[in-house]
Structure 1
Amino acid sequence: MVKEKSTANAAIDYRAIVRDMAPLVASEAREAEAKGDLTKPVVDIFLESELVWFMAPRELGGGASSIRTCIEVLEDLARSDGSTGWSLMATSIHTLYASGWAGDEAIDAMFGGGRRAIVAGMPGPIGKATKLADGRFRGSGRFGFASGSGYADWFLAGMTLSENGEVVRDEQGAPATVTFYLKRDQIEYVPNWDVLGLRATASNDFVVDDVTVSPDFATNVRTYTPLRGPASYRMGGLAFGAAGHCAVVLGMMKRALEEIAIIAAGKARLGYNGPIGSHPMFQKDFAVQEAAYTSLRSRVIEIFEELEREAEAGNPPTPAQFARMYQFVSWVHEVGPEVVRNCHAWAGSAGIREPSVIARCLRDASTARMHSVADPIKMVNAAPHLIEQYADQARDRG
């Protein structure tokens, strides 16, 4: 097992790093879009500053950041550029999954001997795996949306588990899953990311073709019992993923508000007496959109900090807490792109002539809205818990 490393990284100010790299991220964003991946100068800072590992356990050389720090760092980076924030969100969270839930043999391969893995992939159970008689696992599948995969050296691959030809069921009766941890040379990389927004995330496909791994390389990241890391990991890897997605959209919202505030101050339009930024119609609309951003941000942080406190007290999320979490993940992705779209509409020609930051915000936010984590079914699933909560409150009041 990997020995504990220095905890000096606990003092790293990751938000300061992101603030300092903002001019570089902004200057590289257009080239990254054209390339379909982050540029080398940006990736180099990710590695040199240790940003990629800011969520990983300290005993593996990571920052073990609080959930609030996770949200704020990713929001700040997405504020500079949506694709850059999304890429770091994906690799840092997938690295958290691997570092917290992989078995000791896998940890030695990924983090032993001075190594620190950078992990991309798809933890959703897209592939199919079987458990062999000797305890190993064999799996295959084609996986999509491996964001940040351009600079990753390890890949996660989620598998639905079968045994003797039958799907294995977990204690709740749902299909059991395992996540494979695979070196880059164990997968076939398929560079096919050609999309409207989030163009620079290298969210490419990869193929796992009949790969066999030992049990330590195939564990369940959906449990609330990580094998290492801070107590906050007990809120589950999915909670970190949900928080990360919210953070990136919040960053896009903030950047769109900043951009339109600058554009409107100097933009004339027929029918307006002076710049549109001084007109009550724009001012009222801006105040509404800014209220949407600030209220969503405050509530998101509140929800995830509550989950973190419960995890640190030894309590995994309840179904009601999980429902509330995904209610707001869905709502952030519903409201966020609308705020960005509204800002873009006020930009006029400044929003259609390239280079246009506010146009990129619109493309990126619209694409983020399509992610499965934001599907409206999350609202449907949350509703019974919310209705029950309100009914209980009414009964308690008498």
Structure 2
Amino acid sequence: MESSARILENLDSVLPHIAKRAGEAERARQLPDDLFAELTAAGCFRMLVPRSHGGADIGLPDALRVIERVARADGAAGWLVAVLSSAPLIFGLLPDASFDEIYAAGPDVIGAGALAPKGAAVEVADGWRVTGRWPFVSGCRYAEWFYLHCVVFEDGKPLLDTAQRPVMRMMVVPTAAAKVIDTWQSLGLRGTGSHDVRAAATQCPASYSCTVLGEAGVRRQDGLVINDQLGFVIGAVAVGIAAGALAEICELAAVKRPAFSAQGLAQSPVFQDRLGEAQMKLVAAQALLADQARVAVEPSPEPVDRLTLRATGATVTRLAASVVDTAYELAGGSSVFDSSPVQRRFRDIHSVTQHAVTGREFFRTLGAGLAGLEGDAVWR
């Protein structure tokens, strides 16, 4: 029976390769094929697949530890592990027969996609006709399946629910049914290959469609609610990037003597003070993520607890970004070059902060809940 400890042990021999070749991944704008294969063999992409289907099913708290460890080696690799390992949570909302078909050949199935509803779906006799273009589909060149979120159209107009909100459905299609558009020229996370995916009147069977938002979508094994977890895997990437940045600034400080200084960077009291503060911010981010991950897997959390879960990713990511900013500043002129690993961390973390699940909307919604107001729902 595969465990998180076994996956982490498998990674011990993989992560040095990941770290050493991070620059290569940046230049290629995707993880090298052999490194992706090593992550797959280590168990990274089956860690949330049910054991009934050959997966490790290690659960959210342990999966976050794996993601953080990979992101510490390289943020882009950590991001890929985070988003691609989460695909079973989407697939788990499909009918059982469809889920079984997806994993019929084994647990190492790669699914990539987008939660942003950038497509239009029209119901037809045998399912859905899907058209649209979705950005930020990380790892799309490795995927076997795409999950593509759509607004449902009827008579040429978006279909609205009883609250006058657009009705949305997720469509799961083989990658051959859509086209990857090379668009990934980015500030950071360059090695994730997060290109656009386009579908033109693609057919999706009804049995490969599901509702993700607006209903109590739960995973089959342990009742995890997808809506409450979106920020956790992103937060794990953020703390991994921050941990890597602190390790790299410590290595630099051991050999760097700033211009016009009589002592090395490591001997500077200002450096020591700021480094210590940054370390405690990192510890706080890690502790918050671990604590809330345990809450996330509890059955039926209270409404305010759910709102707190949704604000966790934003809080953790902001703390991690502050840590990386400190490392970048402490590195001085060394950090301005593309060859600087600290600069890469800086670019990566500030790409992570732009993800929808790290936005301030979750703080507002939590504040409304604490004040006893219902407020506007954020990803109901």
What TM-score results when the alignment is normalised by the length of structure 2? Answer: 0.91
- Which amino acid in the other structure matches residue 320 of structure 1? V
Aligned pair partner of 2:228 in 226, 234, 239 = 239
How far apart are the structure 2 equivalents of 1:387 and 1:366? 31
Question: How large is the RMSD of aligned CA atoms in angstroms?
Answer: 2.2
Aligned pairs (5 A) from 1:127-142: 127-132=119-124, 134=125, 136-142=127-133
- Which residue is equivalent to 1:58? 51
Consecutive unaligned residues of structure 2, counting only runs of 5 or more, are 374-380
- Which amino acid in the other structure matches residue 156 of structure 1? Y
- Which residue is equivalent to 1:152? 143
- Which residue is equivalent to 1:9? 2
CA contact (8 A) 2:72 2:240 kept: yes
- Which residue is equivalent to 1:336? 320
- Which residue is equivalent to 1:393? none
Give the deviation of 1:107 after TM superposition: 2.4
| Residues 1:80 and 1:186: Cα distance change in structure 2 (over 3 Å) | same
Consecutive unaligned residues of structure 1, counting only runs of 5 or more, are 1-7, 390-398
- Which residue is equivalent to 2:15? 22
Aligned pair partner of 2:24 in 11, 28, 31 = 31
Aligned pairs (5 A) from 1:249-288: 249-270=238-259, 272-288=261-277
What TM-score results when the alignment is normalised by the length of structure 1? Answer: 0.87
Which is worse superposed, 348-357 or 153-162? Answer: 348-357
CA contact (8 A) 1:88 1:148 kept: no
| Residues 1:169 and 1:9: Cα distance change in structure 2 (over 3 Å) | farther
Identity of aligned residues (%): 22
CA contact (8 A) 2:169 2:211 kept: yes
| Residues 1:386 and 1:13: Cα distance change in structure 2 (over 3 Å) | farther
How far apart are the structure 1 equivalents of 2:270 and 2:20? 33
**CA offset digits 1:321-371 (Å, max 9, x no partner):** 232123221122223222211111111233234422111101101111111
CA contact (8 A) 1:121 1:157 kept: yes
**CA offset digits 1:93-145 (Å, max 9, x no partner):** 123321x112234324321244742100112222111223x362222110010
Runs of 4+ in 1 over 6 A off after TM superposition: none
**CA offset digits 1:150-177 (Å, max 9, x no partner):** 2111101001223445544457654322
| Residues 1:258 and 1:31: Cα distance change in structure 2 (over 3 Å) | same
- Which residue is equivalent to 1:289? 278
How far apart are the structure 2 equivalents of 1:354 and 1:139? 40
Pair 1:366 & 2:350 matched: yes
CA contact (8 A) 1:158 1:177 kept: yes
How far apart are the structure 2 equivalents of 1:69 and 1:260? 27
How far apart are the structure 2 equivalents of 1:112 and 1:67? 23
Aligned pair partner of 2:190 in 177, 199, 208 = 199
Matched pairs, number: 372
How far apart are the structure 2 equivalents of 1:185 and 1:358? 38
| Residues 1:275 and 1:387: Cα distance change in structure 2 (over 3 Å) | farther
Give the deviation of 1:196 after TM superposition: 1.4
| Residues 1:298 and 1:173: Cα distance change in structure 2 (over 3 Å) | farther
Aligned pair partner of 2:86 in 82, 85, 93 = 93
SS state at 1:301 partner: helix
CA contact (8 A) 1:71 1:247 kept: yes
How far apart are the structure 1 equivalents of 2:4 and 2:248? 33
How far apart are the structure 1 equivalents of 2:141 and 2:233? 19
Give the deviation of 1:284 after TM superposition: 1.2
